[in-house]
Structure 1
Amino acid sequence: MASKRLLVIAHVPSPNTQRLCEAVLRGARAEEIEDVETVHRPPLEAGPEDVLAADAIILGTTENLGYMSGALKDFFDRSYYPCLERTQGLPYALYIRAGQDGTGTRRAVESIVTGLRWRAAQDPLICRGEFREDFVQQCEELGMYMAAGLDAGVI
């Protein structure tokens, strides 16, 4: 049984965003990673208990009118106070599927995680503009990086 848990909370309203989430999971579950269990929860199903059981988290959202998805915002609304004093320092990563530039979405998520005092394990991945196949590879690398870092004890 894995001793560390990587939680992926990703909003996937389209086939392309589903592909991105699957790529994150594929990377995080690479066979080289031995001691990490990766769990995916859609934001409307995830709650504070999932965060409290996690050693690291990957957040995935679409850009909706320059903001994060309503589903991810709902997750934060339900989880913020139960996690506030208990998850400080939690390593996280963020990926955004942005039809525009993603800066408002990034700013909104970073505002909340700053309040939670979570620690960014890397800069956000913003998949901007028209969908491109290299977004899939970038998301797979993100998942692998987070899981490998957790496995090695460096994040």
Structure 2
Amino acid sequence: MSQPVRQVAVIAHAPSKNTRRLRDAVLRGIANPDIDNVTARWIAPLEAGPEDVLTADAVILGTPENLGTMSGALKDFFDRSYYHCLEHTDALPFAFYVRAGQDGTGTRRAVESITGGLRWKSVQEPLICRGPFDPAFEIQCEELGLMMAAGLESGLF
């Protein structure tokens, strides 16, 4: 008996070469050849809507730190989707990463505040990629994607 295919919505703002590298690493992790029954779909936050969340089995959010908080594009996604998802996505597994040139604390707090209100279930500590760009950030993002895919495939979440 085959398992149903699970879907991860990757809603990530990737306006720069480095943020695109992180997004692509997350997608590579989900597409790991050891994972058979999980697929991913990247949606830019300005194009994403509540239907993308309502049809997903899990969500990975990605954002650069802009002025000490999440990008305006990710905030716009939440503004348009929050009330449509409220009461329909309780305990939705999610994870997120932040490309933080400085600290990332305000961005983390903002994302956790909104996802807490939605009652989504964080399945991993937020990944805060701080300071000058480091290629190790890509490895960490790939591991984040793989962890989400493996957890979905195994039924852990």
| TM-score calculated relative to the size of structure 2 | 0.97
Q: Which residue of 1 aligns with 2:37?
A: 35
Q: Aligned letter for 2:11?
A: I
Q: Aligned letter for 1:114?
A: G
Question: Which residues of 2 match residues 95-134 of structure 1 at below 5 A?
Answer: 95-134=97-136
Q: Which residue of 1 aligns with 2:28?
A: 26
Query: Aligned partners of 1:133, 1:55: CA distance in 2, in Å?
Result: 29
Query: Aligned partners of 1:52, 1:121: CA distance in 2, in Å?
Result: 18
Deviation, 1:2, is 5.2
Deviation per CA, 1:89-116: give whole Å up to 9, x if none. 0010010000011000000000000000
Query: Aligned partners of 1:93, 1:58: CA distance in 2, in Å?
Result: 5
Superposition RMSD in Å: 1.0
Counterpart secondary structure, 2:61 = strand
Query: What's the % identity of the aligned pairs?
Result: 65
Question: Which residues of 2 match residues 136-155 of structure 1 at below 5 A?
Answer: 136-155=138-157
Q: Aligned letter for 1:89?
A: A
Q: Which runs of 5+ in 2 are unaligned?
A: none
Counterpart secondary structure, 1:34 = coil
Deviation per CA, 1:44-81: give whole Å up to 9, x if none. 00000000000000000000010000000000000000
Deviation per CA, 1:3-47: give whole Å up to 9, x if none. 211110000010000000000000101111111111110000000
Give the paired residue count: 155
Moved over 4 A (4+): none
Q: Which runs of 5+ in 1 are unaligned?
A: none
